[in-house]
A and B are shown apart, each in its own frame.
Chain A
Amino acid sequence: MSAFTFVGARVVDPASGTDQVANVTVSGEEIVAVGTQVDGTAIDADGLVLAPGLVDLHVHLRQPGREDAETVQSGTAAAAAGGFTAVCPMANTDPVADNAGVVELVLRLAREAGHCDVFPVGAITRGLKGEELAELGSMAAVGVRCFSDDGMPVVTARVMRRALEYARTWDAIICNHSEESSLTEGAQLNEGEASSLLGLAGWPREAEEVMVARDLILAGGLGARLHVPHVSTAGTVALVREAKARGVRVTAEVAPHHFTLTDDLARGYDPVFKVNPPLRTKTDIEALRAGLADGTIDAIATDHAPHPGEQKEQEWAYAPCGMVGLETSLAVTLTELVDPHAAVHERGDGVLSLLEALACLSTKPARSRDIAGHGGPIEPGTPANLTLFDLTASWTADREQTQSRSRNLPYHGMTLRGRVQHTLLRGRFTYQDGQVA
């Protein structure tokens, strides 16, 4: 079996907490050595960070049903280009992934594409209607660990409580789209100064917080596992922090756009900035960053939500919510949160150390969802799921330069720092020198 060695890489591994310059040898599907050896083909990795492959808890691959927006093939290719080795697509496809058949279809399409491991999220309720539980057991039997009606909240407390309770059979995770929909009827933009001046119906932060508070109480009472998706407000951060402190089994994620962009961007009415939950304010951004820094928020997840051009080239109110993010998540995180001059364990002028940032992008999301073989550690005998990136390389985000079928990128034209060079899935290059393999 042919081996190759990344020579002179800066190995940053949140799983073991290590930061060292070392050579990493891969043979077959596994890492076989970390040290000074040069076995097999030498690949110069001088100046590159070598880290566990990134793990995204929240993406929309749109297949089956909306292949004009994305397919499993194109979405996982975008994931590989973004440094990801595992992604978790949501269930809101057409038909809905509320049964083992659709889950198996997505798994098969992902295997055929071969760009990235895919861990489908199953629906909590049939057709995402929030009324009858889907057959969680049939989906658990084909590997589903997390259930969500993402995009649609589980409206009634009764159904939510039953789902949390029933999922304990597999110690599975319930992830509820946190939105009290009676407070968001017709809502278009975070309720605040921008919505007030723009004449767009306000989307109050309380709509999110009311639902999160309810779910934390329910999960806490049952000892069940809850995951809070796309945290967008300071109030939600406080709720999750308080719940963790009293031992609720909760994990939480934040999307890069929520810790970088504000509702002021809606002033040009460009629907590329329309997203659910909506972009909030500077105060929220500060709180979300503090939540990442103190561990309240476990994971950075993209909520990659592709939409075809004609859907976004509309009046703001008619355009669907969502942004793509798989190819910019690492760079946005590094640019906004990490001081490139700080030592790897230190924050310097950043919000997170490099080690912490990679933990939020890889190790912690993998652990929070029981995904084995991803998120490190980088040690002999572990699967070679890796990403190599240039920490300091600057580039301009360009919506046309993408593996995705969609172009709804809010960072278009922005200068970002940190560029993926290679991604490996079980020892095989899925992305190499700017090309999807």
Chain B
Amino acid sequence: MMKHLLSMEDLSAEDVTQILDTAAGFVDLGERTVKKVPTLRGRTVCNLFYEDSTRTRISFELAAKRLSADVLNFSAKGSSVSKGESLKDTALTLQAMGVDAIVLRHSESGAPLTLTQWVDAHVLNAGDGSHQHPTQALLDLFTIRQRFDRIEGLRVAIVGDVLHSRVARSLVQGLRTMDAEVTLVAPPTLAPPRPEAWGAAVSTDLDAVLDKTDVLYLLRVQRERMAQQFFPSPREYARLWGADRDRLARLPQGAIVMHPGPMNRGMEITAEVADAPNAVIGEQVRNGIAVRMSCLYLLLGGDG
């Protein structure tokens, strides 16, 4: 296993399979009364969060605690960071304290890779800017595999603000590594430049791809993009690219709907779709803990 988890680009199909297989072993643990194994006892995991994210932080915290690691939560607000300390100095401080792993969430792309040059600890990317969110991609792949017993050959449509989405960047790479077909559906203003480099098809027409879709993956669309003229109004966005009851009905039998959360109900997804039986949004969250346990275990477990 590699030293850090920074980008889905670094993972082979074997790596992904190993992570998902290992995660499968941890899923049941969450159902037990005693949800804890002693695997990482005595190891220290620091959640270093430069960007608010209660969901991801809690998921990583639970994952580390269920492996019996000691967990530090270092939030940029109310810390030395808000007093102007650089990432480098924060990194050197954590290095001096001897943490074993740093889970980094950062608003700027590339920060986790930059961090690795200053620390010996394992670095896990918990989302960096518009770049990558590998544990989200892995939990999505886990959820897809759980539903279909395979990933290869599935047709996945990723819909919404692809341009600014780290979820999309990491998930597309993961899906391509596992030989799924990916279509990005977005207004042209929110499609990434040079999508051919992603190995994905691009469409502006959601209705044209629905009946060829096994997994409909909806991305969060921030309302602030409207002010930046990426689209004229939430109403128009919802009409052209939102998932509603009618569109849900046009998916093939057995297709599922996914969303990384938090959802904008009424924008990219209506309440009926979010709560539909084939929406697996809750499972994604549940599986997130097991997948993050798997990542921590595989990265740290091999250390002497």
Contacts and interface: CB of A to CB of B under 8 A. Distances in A.
Interface stretch (B102-110, B153-161, B242-250, B271-279): B102-110
A202 B194 CA distance: 11
A315 interface: yes
A42 interface: no
Contacts, number: 66
Interface string A169-191: 00000000000000000001001
Interface string A302-342: 00000000100111111000000000000000000000000
Interface stretch (B18-26, B69-77, B126-134, B296-304): B126-134
Contacts of B113: 268-269
Contacts of B193: 191-193, 195-196, 202
A195 B131 CA distance: 9
Interface residues of B, number: 24
Nearest to A266: B110
A199 interface: yes
B53 interface: no
Contacts of B86: 310, 313-314
Given A199-B128, A199-B169, A269-B113, A317 B108 contact: yes
Interface string B187-225: 000001111011000000000000000000000000000
B114 A192 contact: no
A314 B88 contact: yes
A265 to B, nearest CB: 13
Interface in B80-112: 86-88, 106, 108-111
B166 interface: yes
Interface string B151-180: 000000000000000100100000000000
A1 interface: no
Contacts of A310: 86, 88
Contacts of A197: 9, 169, 197-198
B172 to A, nearest CB: 10
B136 to A, nearest CB: 14
A92 B86 CA distance: 26
Contacts of A318: 108
Nearest to B132: A199
A200 interface: yes
9 cross-chain pairs, A with B, having the tightest CB-CB distances, nearest first: A269-B110, A199-B131, A199-B130, A199-B109, A317-B108, A193-B194, A315-B108, A193-B197, A196-B192
